[in-house]
Amino acid sequence: MGALLRVRAVAAKEFWVLLRQPQLLLLLLAGPVLIMVAFALSFEVDRAKPRAVVVVEPGSEGEELFERFQDRFTVRTRFQGTVQSVEQADQMLRNDETDAAIILPPDPSESVRRGEQAVLEVRYSSINPIYGTTVPNRANGLVLDLNQALVREGIARELEDAGTAREAIEDLDRQLARVNEAAESLATPEAQAATSELDSTLAELEQTLEVLALVESGEGEEDVDRSLEQTRQAREQLAELQEAQEGGAPSVKDRIGLTELEQQVGLLQEQVSEIPFDVPPRVLANPFRLDLENLAPYEPDALGFYTPATLALLIQHIALSLASLAIVRERLSGAYELFEVSPLGLGELLVGKFLTYAGLVFGVNLAVAAVLVGTLEVQVLGGFLRLAVAMMLLTLASLAAGFLLSTLSRSQLQAIQIAMLMFIASGFFAGFLFPLDQLGQPARSFAYLLPATYGIQALQDVMIRGQWPAWTDFLGFALIFAISLAVARHLMGRKKV
Amino acid sequence: MPVIQVKRLVRDFGPDRVLKGLDLTVEEGEIFGLIGPSGAGKSTLMRVLTGYLEPTEGEVAVFDRAPTTFVSADRRRIGFMPQSFVLYGGLSVRQNLNFVAGLYGLSFLRRRRRVRETLEFVELWDARRKTAARTSGGMQRRLQLAAAIVHEPALIFVDEPTANLDPILRRKFWDEFKLLRDNGHTIFVTTQYVGEAELCDRVGLLSNGRIIAAGTPDELRRQAFDGEVIELTLAGDPGHTGTQLEALENVGHVVEVREERDGDGPVSRARLVVDDADVVLPKVFETLNGADIRSADVLNPSFDEVFFRLVRNE
Ligand SMILES: Nc1ncnc2c1ncn2[C@@H]1O[C@H](COP(=O)(O)OP(=O)(O)OP(=O)(O)O)[C@@H](O)[C@H]1O
Ligand SMILES: [Mg+2]
């Protein structure tokens, strides 16, 4: 009984304490739900299609081909239009204004005539081993589709052009029919009877002629010999016929249609010889071949790819958590009042905290990066200077955001809670789990408020692409830093009313 | 020239009016005690004086300047000891004091010297390496006081320094305040212990958002009883002593007559309120010539009583 009362007391106390912090409850419940809803609203399957430009030479066969099969290019991409030069397309790829450049050869027929597949080149720039296969996959599909369409269209055209061949085939058909007819009739029993009758008549004639030849000599002898010869030939032929008759219609057919068939075959062969026999069938069936080129300097494995993003999330989270407690803790403990009464300026307070936190976060994460490079052989293509600069900028922006968070928080628990939510939101929206460009609104706008969004891009640029972060990322860091600090400073400076 | 001058100060928290038009003057080099019950607004007044809170209405001048417009030179002349321990439990005693000395911009050498002097002054030098969280409540309070004086401010605000301390430590704190005062510091101290008013040079009684009385302890006592009090004990039966006491009305004002018995018979105890006890006392003996005066003392009423009367009179 006593235990029950005590448990009830604790439960009731917890209930009221929680209820007294409506913002905290709201954050606890609504925060994750909001993130999931924003994610569901923003994740667009259509955005999984890569953006693409097509490079064609104006007036070329390539352009004509593109216009003829345009739908096949546009259905599997977010088609952005055509450009005229490869350089222009490369520039767009480098500036991340497009995901793929499809380069059509100016004269594909020429290659085919030479017996070679025409090359459809697709350039892209991806370092993502998981989502980076979108362009290659879709490029393969495009080439397959294009080849099928070309072959199908080719057969249809051949059929139209092939009037002579069709006539020849029809001729052949007719002849065959005639041969068939004849063969059928010769093979009937009546015909066989007639033939054997003819044979016996010829046999009698032969015997008579033989007797005549023995009896008669002189002038009439030559005629008789010739007639006997003819009769024997006729009998030989008849024997063959009879033999064929016994074998049925097909054997007859053999004998009757042969000559004409031979003629027809000769004609067909002549026509077939116009087709270019030195083009291999592989080329005829697949006139296009895909040539993929990834402009990214190196395609890392999953570990290499996720290391920069993980580091970015880690930096943001540590910095944000540390800084988010900085002000609220002092305010709650009362130390803040001591600061207010002392000559310490708010700017000095912030800078002082900044120095230590920045050094700590920066040092810890640089050490983490060094361990990754040393033990897991993760690459830092851009070198440690670039890495240090990018990490420092991310640290500063995250700390500034954390200070703002700290001035807004009513309690330490609330501050921690918001920091945690920011961490989860960053996983979803900052380009960690899904590439940023697969997200629509409202997540897109939200993503640009997170330091990690710029951090992931910047660290990927440095570690995988081996280059300085984009100026847009520098701008993002600078804006978050300046605006957060200005607002935090303003909120802190406000007298308690 | 007064160090602190407050006129018609009003401070609201939302709809609640905590300070309701308050006047106050604190002179240089004195210990000014602000006495009032819990929730009277003592800490609020102190926060307005240090510039942490803005006044809702009225005029506040500290060193002839509105506290909300203090520049850092002004702030260096002020020390502040909050009501609770707000320093860092994780740091050692000396690290804490070093930090505060740094906040006031003490140079390295001066900081070293002052940290040591101050810790010795509050008797924490031996405990300087102890982590603040592991020191006792009284030590933390002394550390907090050290933090308020380490930069040698001209004006020191101390908010309930002696609350919940044992009498010996309380006495020590007041001894320290007196020492500081003798060295020329002005001390503005709040307390709930009415008895501590006696230890101040001047006292203000804060009740219900107003200063209901201000002055030296003696002045307050006089104000509470409208003068000084002589307590008389006369022997004899009540009728007789009553006549005798009536005669005293021409030298003072007789209040509170009580009839009692002691071992020898009935006695009357009476309080006579007079303007100046030293002048009046010989006249009392003169007037009561022949009466059986058992005792006649100048009463020194406890400050509890003074406070109670002043609040009741309000
Ligand atoms: N920040 C605040 N917000 C709202 N009300 C406040 C605030 N600070 C003080 N008060 C109110 O003002 C009144 C006076 O508080 P204050 O702390 O000044 O009293 P105090 O005299 O110092 O009491 P104690 O002796 O217990 O310290 C109280 O009723 C309190 O609730
Ligand atoms: Mg108080």
Residue in A with minimal Cα distance to B87: A335
Whether the CB-CB separation of B46 and B24 falls below 8 Å is answered with no
Determine the distance separating the centroid of ligand 1 and the alpha carbon of B127, expressed in angstroms: 33
pLDDT digits (tens, 9 = 90+) for B50-92: 988 999 999 999 999 999 888 888 899 999 999 888 888 888 9
Q: Rounded CA gap, B133 and A378, in Å?
A: 44
Residue of B46, B47, B86, B141 for testing the chain A interface, max A β-carbons within 10 Å: B86
**B47 and A337: CB-CB below 8 Å?**
yes
Contact indicator for B60, B69 with CB cutoff of 8 Å: no
Classify residue A82 as left (phi > 0), alpha (psi -120 to 50) or beta.
beta
Q: Has residue A218 got a pLDDT over 60?
A: no
Torsion angles phi and psi, residue B54, rounded to 5? -90, 140
What pLDDT is recorded for position A179? 60
Range with the poorest average pLDDT among A21-30, A327-336, B4-13, B203-212: A21-30
Neighbour order of strands in the sheet with A118-124: A78-83, A51-55, A100-103, A118-124, A288-294
- Please write the tens of the pLDDT for every residue from A35-57: 777 777 776 666 667 787 888 88
Q: Does B294 touch chain A (CB under 8 A)?
A: no
Output the average pLDDT for chain B: 86
Q: Which helix (H) or strand (E) holds B214?
A: strand B210-215
Of A343, A495, A496, the CB nearest to B76: A343
Q: SS3 of B20, please?
A: strand
Q: Which ligand is nearest to the CA of B11?
A: 1
Can you give the pLDDT at residue B71?
Answer: 87
pLDDT band at B280 (very low <50, low <70, confident <90, very high): confident
Q: Which of A116-120, A160-164, A171-175, A201-205 has the highest mean pLDDT?
A: A116-120
The answer on pLDDT for B146 being more than 90 is yes
Of all residues in chain B, the one with the smallest CA distance to A343 is B72
Task: Give, using CA atoms, the residue closest to atom 14 of ligand 1.
Answer: B41
Distance CA B39, CA B45 (A): 11
Q: How far, in Å, is the centroid of ligand 2 from the Cα of B143?
A: 19
- Note which residues in 183-222 of chain B have CB less than 8 A from chain A: none
Predicted complex ipTM exceeds 0.90:
no
- A455 Cβ contact partners less than 8 Å away, ≥ 6 residues apart: A312, A313, A315, A316, A390, A394, A397, A398, A430
**Of residues A354 and B147, more confidently modeled:** B147
CA of A13 to the centre of ligand 2 (A): 26
A160 vs A71, more confident: A71
- Nearest neighbour of A342 by CB, restricted to B53, B103, B157: B103
Average pLDDT for residues B249-257, to the nearest whole number? 72
For residue B78, which residues of chain A lie inside 8 Å, CB to CB?
341
Q: Rounded mean pLDDT of B41-57?
A: 91
Q: How far apart are the CA of B285 and the nearest CA of chain A, in angstroms?
A: 58
Q: What is the mean pLDDT of residues A428-455?
A: 82
Determine which of A5-19, A276-290, B105-119, B206-220 has the lowest per-residue pLDDT on average: A276-290
Query: Which of B53, B84, B157 is opposite residue A334, by nearest beta carbon?
Result: B84
Pocket test for ligand 1, best of B13, B22, B189, B210 (most atoms within 8 A of CB): B13
Q: Atom 4, ligand 1: which residue's CA is nearest?
A: B13
pLDDT at residue A123, rounded to an integer = 82
Identify all chain B residues contacting A339, using CB atoms and an 8 Å cutoff.
Answer: 103
The kind and range of the H/E element at B272 are strand B265-274
- Mean pLDDT value of segment A8-18: 80
Residue B112 confidence class, pLDDT cut points 50, 70, 90: very high
User: In the block, which residue shows the tokens 């010539």?
Assistant: B289
- Low-confidence winner among A154-163, A223-232, A446-455, A484-493 (lowest mean pLDDT): A154-163
| pLDDT tens profile B289-301 | 777 777 778 877 7
**Ligand 2 midpoint to CA A337 (Å):** 14
- What average pLDDT score do residues B258-263 get? 73
User: Quick one: pLDDT at residue A158?
Assistant: 53
Helix (H) or strand (E) holding A292: strand A288-294
Q: In the prediction, which pLDDT does A114 show?
A: 73
First-last CA distance in chain A: 48
Q: Which ligand is the nearest neighbour of the Cα of B208? A: 1
Of B73, B84, B104, the CB nearest to A342: B104
Q: What per-residue confidence (pLDDT) applies to A497?
A: 44
Minimum Cα–Cα distance from A344: chain B residue: B103
Q: Which of A45-59, A361-375, B92-106, B156-170 is the least confident region?
A: A45-59
For all residues of chain A together, what is the average pLDDT?
Answer: 76
Ligand 1: lining residues by beta carbon, under 6 Å: B 13, 18, 36, 38-44, 83, 160, 192
Could you tell me the two tokens for B36? 């009032």
Q: B119 pLDDT band (50/70/90 cuts)?
A: very high
Q: Tell me what pLDDT residue A454 has.
A: 92
Q: Which residue has the higher pLDDT, A258 or B269?
A: B269
Q: What is the mean pLDDT of residues A145-157?
A: 70
E-only strand ranges, A138-287: none
Ligand nearest to the CA of B47: 1
Q: How far is B120 from chain A (nearest CA, A)?
A: 22
User: Which of B53, B73, B82 is closest, CB to CB, to A495?
Assistant: B53
Å from CA of B98 to ligand 2 middle:
26
Chain A contact for B307 (CB, 8 A cutoff): no
| DSSP-based three-state secondary structure for A280 | coil
Mean pLDDT on B215-240? 80
Query: Could you tell me if A284 and A133 are in contact, meaning their C-beta atoms sit under 8 angstroms apart?
Result: no
Q: At CA A250, angle to CA A165 and CA A263, rounded to 5?
A: 30
Among the bound ligands, the one closest to the CA of B49: 1
- Total Cβ atoms within 10 A of residue A80: 17
pLDDT at B157: 94
**CA angle (A342, A344, A346) in 5-degree steps:** 125
Nearest residue (CA) to ligand 1, atom 1: B13
